[in-house]
Structure 1
Amino acid sequence: MVNMQGQYSKIRLLGEGGMGKVYLAQDNKLERQVAIKELTALSGEQSLEHALAEARILARLSHANIIQIYNVYEQNNQAALVMEYFHSQSLSQYQKENQLSMVEKLELLRQLTSGLKAAHQHGIIHCDLKPSNILINKQGQLKIADFGIARLAGQEQGIESDSSAGYGCLFYMSPEHIARQALDYRTDIFSLGIIAYQLLVGSHPFGQGSANQVAERICQQVPEHAKNLLCDAPAALTDLLMAMLVKPVAKRTLTAAEIENRLGHILMQWQQNLDSEQATLPLPEPITKKQHGFSAIKLFSGACLLCLLVLFAFYFVSQDESDNKHVAILKPRLIENSAMPAAQQALVLSTVEDAMRQAVINTKNMYLISQREVMATTALLGDNLAKLKQALGASDLITTSLECDTNRCNVRFARLTSRPNNAEHLSVSAENHWFLLIEKFSVMYSASQGQFAALFAKELAVNKAGLLQKPIKESDYQRYINLYHEIKEQRQYNEHSLSKLAELLTRSPYLYAAYALYRDTALDLYLDSRDKKYLQQLDSLLQNAPPEYRYSVYEAIDRFWLASDLGQMDVAQQQITEAKHRGADALLILEQQAYMHFSSGHYDKAAQAYTDAYKLRPSLSLLYNSAFSYWRMGALSEAEKTIESLLKQYPNNIKGKRLQANIWLLQGQLASAIAAYQAIVNINPQSSDLTNLALAYALNKQYKKSLEFAQKALAKAPKHPFNLLNLADIEMMMGDKQLAKSHYQQVVSLLVGKNEVKYLTNLAQAYAQLGQADLAIATINKAQELTSDNGEVSYASALVYSLLNEKSSAIHHVKVALKNNVGAVWYNLPWFDALCREAQFKKLMDSHANTGRCNN
């Protein structure tokens, strides 16, 4: 190797790690900037061999998404690699400093997979994929770096050393890599899956903790399915994420080429949906993790039909509800080319945003619309602010822009409202330009609140909470803002951050905003771990709060969430009453009551509460929640009427169309249901839609088509119990009893031990089909205990008892189901053939326009 050090002049250190240091340098001969990686972990001949090995691997590759190698040189018996200089950030840093849309995230993953595909096609396994080795520039171009421990396919793959050099990062390793087994390209696929899951979902699939703790979970645990956590994601995407994270190597069959191809289709479809639905707002898919307080969302439907948005803001009762302001604060935007360091930018933005949010929370007659709802809606509607305002049911939109240097920011607040008699056009009803000096956080916080209040100078006394205000030390304000940014913006909450919040509130118990932050963090940690110590800590914190806070409406809301997570619904109901006594707004009370009624199975009361809430804030989410509550209670005509109202406003809303198709299917309007499902699956074929389309064809006695779509549904979600049950039913109808029983047994294996109504009804049917009468009856009885007068449960009961030849019980439940608008066509299935010998069943069919049911 030639000593070529004189050709290069170092400029500055870019970074360093276990394998060496990387410098920005000038190539004096070719007059270009390069990156030089000096290997320091090894010495002598080992260093030279290592450098040559990495250089030879990189030399095989010439791809837009992989850092290129230019040269190798020797200096003082140490080797250095000369590589392409790519002015960029790591994926982790890039994500922290940019609010990425789903399209942007998918595009980054597509580039990453494209580079990985090129490596694999040349027989190269990276072996150390992680966010710090993925570089992105300001234009969004991505490159894979650091092939220091890469190897060629077919080389000896066992991992001998346990040193960090040559072994990789435990947080992103495959199970076989952690176990130091033979490696091939599939180890990179697993690492890619972790990175993709973390980028899209926002959390590591195997949780937080030390490297060894995470590595243990990688080897032993299965991550929560991404479909439960991603808002509005198609099944094609969530299923792809989970396929990359399959633990057994033999079953992890995806290649980078296949993943890139699928991502390309998903990205194209997503973009087309955005383009075609600029005038609509599809509701978010449900998630399992609740965000408490100002952004509280709970999941109730495993069928992915409902995202119940319980949107809380703390403010006081108005004598005239029509005077209330429903305020949506959009994310503050920093003008490009800011001279302010990135870390400081993030804290300034967090300070300004939280100051505005707290000002709304502390104002009588103001309601703060959930940050999560605002962000999800903004991602879907983009710059269409008029549609955004309409979909949120907001009276006011607040936009903020900042142009900063190192000492101050030129800030612009704008309050947007609808023009009189023209809701489709917005006007700036108030605007405020001012200079924010970058000094004490407490000063920036109070200055932002004062300037925000000026937007409502003629109408409201802004930021008058009625709580005793005491001076807060600047150091405590700064700690709070740092924790707010870490927890709320970066979603990096853990026991350490909870402990720091507790210490902060011990020192500054009158820093009221920190109580909500503590509550959110404690409850999220509880939901992650189910460790009740976090709830006990929250209870203790509230007990020791100052009296002014302890007897405020805010504390009643804190205790409502505490009780609900403990499953103490009677206590939670008491806290709703207490919040009302302390002056909580009518809209807040209605949304709390809706949540309580729905979680208790009182869907009729939930529907009424959501309908009343919609009258106060006519948002798309509340309208959909009303329709879904009607659907759950079996009031199909009311559900249909409500969903028609939704589709009249948003005619291309996929979730509205899906719920409408479900209603038609249950009513037995097969032609309408088939046409609706067919249109949906042509746009975005999800497994639930394919399953329902298969059901519709089966009811229409088109068994071949039914089998085709049932198989497609199962291919998309092979472990989904509903898909398995549906396929088994169709196989049984077509005479393939052995295969059908195999699938029924899989349903039992998946559902046994689950206690939700939707699972119990399907489990009972599977038991009945397998002839396990006692288990079938016990299971359907449990479902009946959990919900009364429900059409779907009554139908499942009729099916179970008919299969078990308990005719009188079956006919009783047929009556109840028909009364609850379950279409008579559902009794055309062969499971009910035995009932045709009963005059009462024939009479029921005749009275419900199904006269020909028992003619054969």
Structure 2
Amino acid sequence: MDVVALEKTDVYQGRYRVERTLGAGGMGVVYLAEDVKLGRKVAIKQLRSDMTGNSAEARFRSEAQLLARLNHPNIVRLYDVLEEDHNIALVMELVEGVTLKEWMREHNATLAEKLDLLMQICQGLGKAHCLGIIHRDLKPENILVTNDGVAKITDFGIAKALDCDQQLTREDHIAGSVQAMSPEQLQGAPLDARSDLFSLGSIAYELLCGYKPFERGDKSALAFAQQITSKPHIPPQHAWPEIPKPLAALLDRLLAKRPEQRPESAERVFEALELVRKHGIDRNTLQYSETVTQLLIKPRKKRRLIGSTLAILTIVGAFVFWGWKTLTYLPSQYIAILPTQINGVVQGGDMEILMRTMVRQALSSAPSQLKSSALVSYTPEKNVSYEEQLRKLQNKGVTDALLARLDCMQLRCNIELQRIKPSDSEIRQQASFVFLSDKIQEAQYTISNSAVRLFSKNYRKKPNASSKMDPEDYSRYLVVLSKTDSDQIVGPADLKVLEELIGKYPANTNLYSSYTKVVLKIWGATNDSQLLTKTLGILTSAEGMGADKTALLEAKLAIKSVSQDRQGFESILAKIEAQGHPSAHLLTQFARHQYIHGDYKQSLAFSKEATALNPSFNNYYYIVINELALANYDSARKILKKMINMYPERWKAHNILGVIELETGNLDSAENVLTSIPEALRDPITKSNLGTVYFLQGKYELALQVYLEILNSTPNNLRMITQTAETYLMLSNVESAQTHFQKVINLTENSTFLKDRQFRAEALAYLSMTPASIALIKDLLREAPESTYVKHTAAQVYALAEEWQSANYHLEDLISKGMTKEWFTLPAFQQLCLQPQTSQVVRESICH
């Protein structure tokens, strides 16, 4: 039995004759059919043929099992289950009517009719809850209203029985529609019946007030989810100025962020609505009378329990919600670490370097132990006074600075910690103690915990448990950590050290954070997606080992931000945001995620918003690379000059400046900028850019030497493989070029990354797979219409396909943005010089 068969009029299983299709959803198709045996119309909901699989089938079977337990006039009934092979269909009650969403749009209903519908929904929902079933996707589209005005809840596809442990959704994916979810459901927390009551509150708000409780506008699903989890709903009085206090209070209670603030059951909501429906409507005006509030405050004896509940709703409800939010609100703290000052002599060769690394790590871990707090990346300029540093921090939006001063004499060090407000340079809190330099591991935990105690108790979380390492292991850890805190190159050997330490000390939170930093550094140079998968596995394994859960979530978010799993990223981001993390921190992560996926305009907007809140090096960096991707070279140069003045030894800024000079044809300037970076600090990206300079200068042998050197250490680096193939073409070594292009195709077969698919489109074109190449480049142009990189690839693809007009179109656009002739030396581009369709602008710009 498949979809095609169901559309025929044959009688199936001797009983059901399908007449026509009623509609289709994400998983199923619904048909109108006749039950020949009983002579009645039914609706058959069948699993779509392209959705067959264990998860989809499990959801359908789960819905059938739950509906079989539900026999209530306000829930759509299940009559039968049809199965054949892997096909499954549910035979259900046919509801002749419309969805509540359509009903609200098409009916000018009285208040009494609206309350009647809400009471019916409460009754159906109450029946499900009594049987331990939560719906999880309650919304107007999943409530049917018959022509006689009866409300029926439907679509229990993702409903869950509280006594079952259903695994119907994968990790980091939250089932349901965002607009129908409670805050705890969006955060992936355990659910109970009160989650459905939040969804019921959204329905009631829209039905009664004519508006949704949260403004969606043009917000993304992620931004909308964040609003539901962290922002208050629109006060009902704003949407319906005449709404009486008891009903407004009821809506406020239903839409409370925390489950315990909502009514205890659907039955209690029904009783409240029933009381209002019977006694609170003036039948002539259909408006609430002034007696409603008095009735709720002083109820009749038989309504004592209901009255008490509604009196609380009326008098205390709004205060509990708004007052709780006000009393527990913690202003965001942006914390910077000032350079550690060491006076005297520390015994040991590299001991002073390790001491500085230890102190910085201890202070840097403090914000993770504070609520609503984030660490601000800060590297001071050389020869800048202490006062000037604080002024710059204030301009960066930093609210607190932590400073450590050490006075050491051989093995003994006295440390003084200060919490300073950059706005007035005053010391708000300070602490001091003595430690021995050969006991620096113990000192790290003491420093970290002492730094946390410099802040108000309201901000402090439960202290992290210490996970002590052997002294030799701790020294190895500090050596790796000192690399991640600087521009030194890290590699697989550093990861191996951290993996070994994680195996020995699985509860040590700092090890996971450091491991993530090293992975991201390596990934930036190699694009090794397997490394990301491995890291996520390590972080997931750590969840039951005693490591700090918030720190693990932050590490996961950092990895997800550069991965292909957009749903997983948004899920973790929502969980972190719900914990009160400062918005600048989250905006930076989101900007990085959008950039990785090629949405440069969106990434630029988030980067600018993050920089306005926290003008750190990283936030400026994301502005620059997005401006660069959009060919806004002047804007990028202006910001880079500012960054280099502020951070003269942050070589990443020099590297990007070299790229700008390279892309605008200033090859000698590009070479000077890139070679100004110390050779020992040139990562694969810097070397790659230098190789591109040699390529554009026509020094193909030198460029090939650079590319092959990089490939020797990162053999799956797609950019390097592609650029190596292009270099072989310029050296007339077609066979080697084709070998490298084939490797690109093999490595990108299942990738969803925009850049990976860009390399794939070029490789397909060079291997004469023209239809596939053109189809892919069209998709990329739709996804990233402003990207100069995609347009450059598109011009190349169309030239190889001999679609000269399309190639000419993209070349003209690139030339207008300032791309010079050096970028068009490949044979594919030079073919245009021989074509009559090529414009004069292109001829003058690219033809020798």
- Answer yes or no: same fold by TM over 0.5: no
TM-score, structure 1 as length reference: 0.44
User: Which structure is larger by alpha-carbon Rg, 1 or 2?
Assistant: 2
